[in-house]
Structure 1
Amino acid sequence: MRIAMIMNGFPEISEKFLINQVSGLLEAGIDLDIYAAVRPSGSMRHFAAERYGMYDRTRYTRAARSTKTRVLDAPRLILSNFWSNPVAATRALSTKRYATAARNLKTLYFLEAFGKERYDIVHCHFGPNGLTGSFLKDSGIAKALIVTFHGSDINSYPSRHGTNVFRYLYERADLITANTSFTKGKLVANGCPEGKIAILPVGLRMEEYEFPKERVSRDEATLLTVGRLVEKKGHRYLMDALPSLRTRFSALRWRIIGDGPFMNVLRDHAKELGVSEIVSFEGTKNDQDVAAAYMSSTVFVLPSVTATDGDMEGQGLVIQEAQASRLPVVSTLHNGIPDGLLDGRSGILVPEKDSPALADAIGRLLSDKDLRETYGNAGRDFVAETYDIPLLTKRTVDLYESCITS
């Protein structure tokens, strides 16, 4: 079977979960082509993407990230598509069906990129790309449509673009996958038929987080957070917990891996609290450096919250990466996070925006080495049984086959 997978930018350094899925499908012998709207932002390259030849395998549309540039390119784009496929080009402009994908011209850009290629399935990552997938199915480019929702696409996208933005997608999709039970619930509440939804989390490769004991050297009191510096990650609430924690743990240190628009806000807040010297802003790192950070840290913390614009965490794969590295986790009772760890066994969950509760949970783990080891071992076993790529790849291929046969 031939599969086309649609992404936004690929491979992005912050979306390793997509690389993990693609590598598993390639290892399973799936005939897979990748289509991305734009080239990845930044110059840092994924080792795994290079190893599996994903840069060469990906076909990029001619779409620009700038709306102004797309508008200027519209005459060329429209004439080109009308010349080669007038029926599909006319259909591509239907905002009633394809909503934002028609308005931002993605339907036409992908029509141009697909050309004469035809597929058994088009698998779209993120709901907005599913709008383009609906168009491709309607145009006979794919026989079946699968759309994977990751969280932010259903948590905040409908509030910005209209409650019914995905209604036609729900009609045309043969299968919709959700990364957590929370995401599934949001889809159902938005009007997606429950019978079309399968829960399929994103995964990781356990071998990438298996370290010989002689290489593991945990620091005495190092907290680690990995993720973009945006409001929903909740960095501010962990920072507010640092002054009280530092009175108990003199070697306390917090490593923050990631970049984003909240960088300066967080730096200023650290200065206000007098904790700048124990907070390390380390920016974006490659896979190997992140794995090394897991190996040397004491507790992983992801204090996620609901942002003011309604944006929420999705699955939070970094929580599974930390557990695979035998790190105990402290996180929040937020969105799909409770699906991704064993509360009270591999990690501790606390309410959102509760700095004292974060301090208490972190303090319990920092003060008890045996508890950390117990949580760490339980976490690795849990992730191996639930999130390892070979297991998830088999489930994905089974879903592909069921779509084709039905």
Structure 2
Amino acid sequence: MLMAPKLNYLNSLPLLGWREHDRNAGYRIVRQNLLRTPITGPAGLNPGQKLLFRIHDIFIRMSLFIRIALILWRSSIKIICIGELVPSGWILSVLRWWPGITRVIYVHGEEITTSDRYDADGARRRAILSAADLVIAVSPFTADAVKAMMRGAERPRILLIENGVDTKKFTPAPRRPDLLVRYNLSGYFVYISVCRLLEKKGIDHSLRAFAEIHQAHPETRFLIVGTGPYARTLESMAASLGIAPYVIFAGDVTDDELVDHYRLGDVFIMPNRALPDGDTEGFGLVFLEANAVGLPVIAGRDGGSVAAVEHDYNGLVVDGHSIAAITGAMQRLRQDDALRLRLAAGGRERAKAMDWRTKTDQFLAACQTASHG
């Protein structure tokens, strides 16, 4: 059983396609409007607004706990896994007092490495991690970050299970004609990014690099799929660089259309980089999704992305801080057809080795082992 929200944490609007997703899922999904407060948080609010935010937060937590308690009371569920350390980790602390429940937390990386003004010394996060029977890290980078944070404190068992990709869903296929028309991409070489639009994803440096690439190769286009707080900055940047007519911001797309959007690309690019506050990419599942549909990828070397992308096998790994390095990688994959095809083939093999069904089996086995002590 999975618990999930109905609303988007960024704008409180209904999530696109969640009903269709749930109907096609092979497991039960329980939804309520929100499982935590919106991402924006109380920063910048006046005292009255902060009070309303806190009341809203308490209401969400109470309703969520009541829902969880009723599920546990009425069912034979003995294992609970939390996927968000900071906003949802309190559930593990509360459930320490619920008999017979094994507590598991999935850690992605950035929630450990990013500085948090509400938890400057990491004590809150250490307490949550200590309440877990098992911590699952999605990359070696993440596992090392957890170990570093827990140094000197009671440390739960830490297990590495890298993210997996659905290789039955993400497959190579011809480009959908209607999408080619929608985005006017027929006959063009397309660089594509699919991600939440955040500074750490490196789309800003990708735009700067693309401005150089497009001068030499006017037959290129850049398709950006996703939304986020950095979207307006990126749109303004594209305009100031003079490449706005050649960059397409597709926004969010439904789950049903996601794979077909990947297939519009020739090269996937997300040269992620670590930010000064420690925020970075914990793994980068999008690299494997792109690989699975037959695309070579360009990744940054910071964080856990190197667990997904092996340089010169399924993609090119570059210094995400260097626009010159990103431009060079984009240039190579535009000019060298043999390299592009070789990396695409390596990507398909990489994706097969990281199939989510294998990862699911590892996850379930780990949970069962943890529940039996």
The TM-score with structure 1 as length reference comes to 0.76
SS at match of 2:283: coil
Q: Which whole-Å deviations, capped at 9, do the CAs of 1:285-324 have from their partners, x for residues lacking one?
A: 1123221122121110002122343321221111110000
Distance in 2, matches of 1:55 and 1:10, equals 15
AA of the residue aligned to 1:164? A
From 303, 307, 315, the equivalent of 1:335 is: 303
The answer for the alignment partner of 1:313 in structure 2 is 281
> Equivalent of 2:172, from 211, 215, 220?
211
Structure 1 counterpart SS, 2:233: helix
How many residue pairs get matched?
347
Q: What is the CA-CA distance between 1:394 and the residue it aligns to?
A: 0.8
Question: How is 1:280-291 mapped onto 2 (pairs within 5 angstroms)?
Answer: 280-291=248-259
Is 1:165–2:127 an aligned residue pair?
no
1:181 matched to 2:154? The reply is no
Moved more, 313-322 or 207-216: 207-216
Determine which of 26, 30, 33 is the counterpart of 1:57.
30
Uncovered stretches (5+) of structure 1, i.e. residues with no partner: 15-38, 74-102
| 1:246 pairs with one of 204, 208, 214 | 214
Q: 2:225 aligns with which of 253, 257, 262?
A: 257
Q: Spell out, residue by residue over 1:130-164, the C-alpha distance to the aligned partner (whole angstroms, 9 max, x if none).
A: 23212112243x52110111122212265542321
**2:347 is the alignment partner of 1:393:** no
**Counterpart in the other structure of 1:226:** 194
Provide the rounded CA distance (Å) in 1 between the counterparts of 2:232 and 2:7.
27
The answer to whether the aligner puts 1:196 opposite 2:157 as a matched pair is yes
Report the residue type matching 1:284 in the other structure: D
Match of 2:111 in 1: 153
State the secondary structure of the residue aligned to 2:123: coil
Q: 2:67 is matched with which residue: 102, 113, 125?
A: 113
Q: How does 1:359-370 map to 2 (within 5 A)?
A: 359-370=327-338
Q: SS of 1:138's equivalent? A: coil
Letter in 2 for 1:399: A
- Distance in 2, matches of 1:317 and 1:11, equals 23
In 2 relative to 1, CA 318–12 (structure 1 residues): closer, same or farther, beyond 3 Å? farther
2:290/2:297 contact within 8 Å kept: yes
Within 2, Cα distance between the matches of 1:327 and 1:160?
40
Q: 1:317 to 1:139 in 2, by over 3 A?
A: same
Residue deviations 1:304-363, cap 9 Å, x none? 122343321221111110000110001111100000022111100111221111111111
Question: Which deviates further from its counterpart, 323-332 or 260-269?
Answer: 260-269
Whether the 8 Å contact between 1:11 and 1:55 is mirrored in structure 2 is: no
- Cα distance change, pair 169–382 in 1 and its aligned pair in 2 (3 A): same
Question: Is 1:299 the equivalent of 2:267?
Answer: yes
Cα contact 2:130–2:155 (8 A) shared by 1:
no
Secondary structure of the 2:96 match is helix
Are residues 105 and 392 of structure 1, via their aligned partners in 2, closer, same or farther at CA, if it must alter by over 3 Å? same
Kindly indicate whether residue 366 of structure 2 is the aligned counterpart of residue 403 of structure 1: no
Select the structure that is richer in helix.
Answer: 1
For 2:139, give the aligned amino acid: T
State how far apart, in whole Å, the 1-side matches of 2:222 and 2:239 are. 14
Residue 44 in 1 paired to residue 5 in 2?
no
1:146 and 1:174 in contact (8 A); partners too: yes
3-state DSSP class of the match of 1:296?
coil
8 Å CA contact 1:270–1:276 kept in 2: the answer is: yes
- CA-atom RMSD in angstroms: 3.1
What fraction of aligned residue pairs are identical, expressed as a percent?
Answer: 21
The AA in structure 2 aligned to 1:394 is D
Hey, what's the Cα distance between the residues in 2 that align with 1:160 and 1:71?
Answer: 14
Instruction: Tell me, yes or no, if the aligned pair for 2:191 and 2:265 is still in contact at 8 Å.
Output: yes
Amino acid at match of 1:402: T
Are residues 201 and 146 of structure 1, via their aligned partners in 2, closer, same or farther at CA, if it must alter by over 3 Å? same
Which whole-Å deviations, capped at 9, do the CAs of 1:367-398 have from their partners, x for residues lacking one? 12222111111111111112x12101110110
Q: 1:237 matched to which residue of 2? A: 205
CA 1:189 to 1:10, structure 2 compared with 1: closer, same or farther past 3 Å? farther
Asked if the contact 2:200–2:280 (Cα under 8 Å) also holds between the matched residues in 1, the reply is yes
Q: Distance in 1 between matches of 2:196 and 2:222?
A: 15
Q: Is 2:95 the counterpart of 1:136?
A: yes
- 1:320–1:53 distance in 2 versus 1, CA, 3 Å: closer
Determine the C-alpha separation between the residues in 1 that align with 2:334 and 2:218: 11
Structure 1 window deviating more from structure 2 (109-118 vs 330-339): it is 109-118
Residue 26 of structure 1 is matched in structure 2 by none
CA contact (8 A) 1:152 1:311 kept: yes
Contact 2:126 2:150 survives alignment (8 Å):
yes
Asked whether the equivalents of residues 331 and 349 of structure 1 are also in contact (C-alpha less than 8 Å), the reply is: yes
Alignment of 1:68-87 (within 5 A): 68-69=51-52, 71-72=54-55
